[in-house]
Amino acid sequence: MQKVLVTGGTGYIGSHTAVELIEAGFEVVIVDNLSNSYADSIDGVEKITGVRPAFIKADCASPQDMQQVFTEHPDIQAVIHFAALKAVGESVEKPLEYYKNNIYSLINLLEILKNRGGHLVFSSSCTVYGQPDVLPVTESSPIKKALSPYGNTKKIAEDILADTIQSTNKISGIALRYFNPIGAHPSAHIGEFPMGKPDNLVPFITQTAKGIWPELKVFGSDYNSPDGTAIRDYFHVVDLAKAHVIALKRLIEKGNKTPFEIFNVGAGNGVTVLEIIKSFERATGVKINYTLTDRRPGDIEKVWADTSYAEKELGWKAQLSLDEALLSAWNWEKTIDKQSHAKAQRGG
């Protein structure tokens, strides 16, 4: 059984990927500093899989912490690296926090891997494309100036990965540029539960539906889209989690064509914010109170993926529908009590 380190593994995408890894026969070690997630998600992973992954509370941005992780688990053969700050709006307000955390954490991992060897699947983002001139975007679309420090950290991280892997024969890597994962595990044992006010659309929708917030603010109503709201490529987080396992197996089985590969992962079509709200209402029967407001700094107008390369090379394609994703998000939301929401709004 191969051992995989999942950084940021108590977070939204990390916990879902831990489930898929365990179900695929991997041994999982989770590292997280719990700055924007809860260790409770490990309980959820165990409920779903019957296996409790090892957990170490540590900061990937600390070289000492990461050395200690590999000292405790010297047989780690691969890393799936999620650990990062990820709120676009917050990154505009706190750029240095984002550069320090997101870049240092990757460098620390690579410093270790370049000496001992291993495989790395990196959590990248469609933000590297900025506002594309041509849609949908392919992996060869131009990398444009990022519109937020968060997006820039992903671009810089990809460059660091490419340069480091090129300099050594000990590391192989895949960056998954994903678009907008939503939803929750169908068991409703794990899902998206950010600390503080949600930055992402769907948890704000579900929390508004539950009455945590009086209304949902839709940022921007004057975009060049069918209804004036921004367009994104939304797809189910379980599909995304499966993509990480497929990418990891490709590296382990040496099916990769080059030492460092990049793939888009998304549904492959664009959906407006208002269409997401309508889909949620259709799937759940719950109406959302929303208002249209000004654009948010750092947001792009529209982006969606061409996923044909991932389908061809990885055999991966998003399978679950938008309605399924939104219904699963609502089912997850209904499991969260008021005390937990009050704690989250206090930031922990």
Give yes or no: 150 in active site.
yes
Residues 296 and 219 sit within 8 Å (Cβ to Cβ): yes
Residues 32 and 106 sit within 8 Å (Cβ to Cβ): no
In 3D space, the residue among 123, 174, 181, 182 whose CA is nearest the CA of residue 313 turns out to be 174
Residues 197 and 331 sit within 8 Å (Cβ to Cβ): no
Count of H-run helices and E-run strands, the chain: 12, 13
Please name the residue that has the structure tokens 């992903």.
154
Residue type, position 45, single letter: V
**Which of 150, 178, 223, 234 is labelled catalytic?**
150
Residues 81 and 8 sit within 8 Å (Cβ to Cβ): yes
What is the rounded CA–CA span in Å between residue 327 and residue 105?
A: 34
Please name the residue that has the structure tokens 């780690």.
76
What is the rounded CA–CA span in Å between residue 184 and residue 190?
A: 6
Dihedral Cα 20, 22, 27, 31, nearest 10 deg: 60
What residues are annotated to the active site? 150
